[in-house]
Amino acid sequence: MNNNHPPSQPNFLARFFKSAAVIEPQELRAVVLSVLFFVFLFGSYSVIKPVRDAMGTVYGVDRLQELFTGTFFASLLFAPIYSWFAARIRLSTFLPWVYGFIALTILGFYWLFTGLGEDRDRWVAAAFYIWVSTFNILIISVFWSFMSDIFSRTQAKRLFGFIAAGGSIGGVIGPLIATAFVKTVGNNGLMLIAASGFAITALLVRLLAGEKPRLMAAMGGEAQSTTLDHRLGGSAIDGFRLLFRSPYLLLLAGFLLLMTWISTIVYFQLGDLIKNAFDSRDARTQAYANIDLAVNCGAVFLQLFGTGRIIKRFGVGAGLLLNPVLMIVAFLAVVFSPVLLVLGGIQIVRRIAEYAVAKPTREMLFTVVDQDSRYKAKNVIDTVVYRFGDLTSAWISSTILPLGVAGLAIFGAIVSLLWFRIAVLLGRRYEDQRTSGIRSD
pLDDT digits (tens, 9 = 90+) for 225-268: 777 877 787 777 888 899 999 999 999 999 999 998 888 788 77
Q: What CA–CA distance (Å, rounded) separates 83 from 142?
A: 12
Q: What CA–CA distance (Å, rounded) separates 64 from 257?
A: 21
Helix 9-21 vs helix 153-219: crossing angle, to nearest 10: 150
pLDDT of 440 > 50? The answer is: no
In this prediction, residue 439 carries a pLDDT of 45
In this prediction, residue 418 carries a pLDDT of 95
- Which of 164, 178, 137, 163 is CA-nearest to residue 46? 178
Structural domain range at position 243: 237-441
pLDDT of 290 > 50? The answer is: yes
Highest mean pLDDT among 58-72, 92-106, 291-305: 92-106
One domain, residues 198 and 293: no
One domain, residues 200 and 253: no
Q: What CA–CA distance (Å, rounded) separates 256 from 98?
A: 23
| Alpha-carbon distances of 158 from 66, 142, 273, 361, 413, rounded to whole Å | 42, 20, 39, 11, 31
Q: What CA–CA distance (Å, rounded) separates 238 from 235?
A: 5
- Which of 43, 50, 149, 28 is CA-nearest to residue 99? 43
Question: What would the pLDDT profile of 8-59 be if each residue is shown by its tens digit?
Answer: 445 555 565 556 667 777 888 899 999 999 999 999 998 888 788 777 767 7
| Helix/strand/coil for 387 | helix
In this prediction, residue 76 carries a pLDDT of 86
- What are phi and psi for residue 87, nearest 5 degrees? -75, -15
274 within domain boundaries: yes
- The one-letter amino acid code at 425 reads L
One domain, residues 186 and 254: no
One domain, residues 244 and 215: no
One domain, residues 267 and 387: yes
Q: List CB contacts of 180: < 8 A, sequence separation 6 or more.
A: none
One domain, residues 144 and 242: no
Contact between residue 216 and residue 441 where contact means Cβ atoms under 8 Å apart: no
Q: What CA–CA distance (Å, rounded) separates 296 from 130?
A: 26
Q: What CA–CA distance (Å, rounded) separates 27 from 349?
A: 31
Higher pLDDT, 325 or 403: 325
pLDDT of 62 > 70? The answer is: no
In 3-state terms the chain splits into helix, strand, coil percentages (rounded to 5) of 90, 0, 10
Q: What CA–CA distance (Å, rounded) separates 254 from 243?
A: 11
Question: What would the pLDDT profile of 206-221 be if each residue is shown by its tens digit?
Answer: 999 988 888 888 776 6
- The one-letter amino acid code at 433 reads Q
Report the CATH number that the domain containing residue 153 is assigned in CATH: 1.20.1250.20
Looking at every residue in the chain, the average pLDDT score rounds to 82
* Domain count across the chain: 2
What's the distance, Cα to Cα, between the start and end of the chain in Å? 52
One domain, residues 219 and 268: no
Question: What would the pLDDT profile of 148-207 be if each residue is shown by its tens digit?
Answer: 888 888 888 888 888 988 988 898 888 888 878 877 888 888 899 999 999 999 999 999
Q: What CA–CA distance (Å, rounded) separates 158 from 311?
A: 7
End of a domain among 174, 193, 223?
Answer: 223
| Helix/strand/coil for 315 | coil
Q: List CB contacts of 4: < 8 A, sequence separation 6 or more.
A: none
Mean pLDDT of 392-404: 80
Q: What CA–CA distance (Å, rounded) separates 414 from 284?
A: 29
Mean pLDDT of 406-429: 91
232 within domain boundaries: no
Contact between residue 226 and residue 138 where contact means Cβ atoms under 8 Å apart: no
Contact between residue 287 and residue 277 where contact means Cβ atoms under 8 Å apart: yes
- Which of 141, 69, 51, 135 is CA-nearest to residue 100? 135
End of a domain among 184, 200, 223?
Answer: 223
- Which of 95, 225, 227, 256 is CA-nearest to residue 154? 225
One domain, residues 52 and 30: yes
103 within domain boundaries: yes
The pLDDT-based confidence of 3 (bands split at 50, 70, 90) is: very low
Of 55-64, 103-112, 123-132, 272-281, least confident by mean pLDDT is: 55-64
159 within domain boundaries: yes
One domain, residues 207 and 253: no
One domain, residues 241 and 216: no
| Alpha-carbon distances of 128 from 71, 105, 122, 153, 202, rounded to whole Å | 10, 10, 10, 38, 21
pLDDT of 441 > 60? The answer is: no
- The one-letter amino acid code at 98 reads V
One domain, residues 323 and 395: yes
End of a domain among 195, 223, 251?
Answer: 223
427 within domain boundaries: yes
9 within domain boundaries: no
One domain, residues 58 and 127: yes
- Report pTM: 0.77
Q: List CB contacts of 66: < 8 A, sequence separation 6 or more.
A: 59, 126
What is the C-alpha radius of gyration for the chain, rounded to an integer number of angstroms?
22
127 within domain boundaries: yes
12 within domain boundaries: no
Question: What would the pLDDT profile of 338-393 be if each residue is shown by its tens digit?
Answer: 788 888 888 888 888 888 888 888 888 888 888 888 888 988 898 889 888 888 88
Q: What CA–CA distance (Å, rounded) separates 176 from 289?
A: 12
Distance of CA 251 to the CA centre of its chain: 18
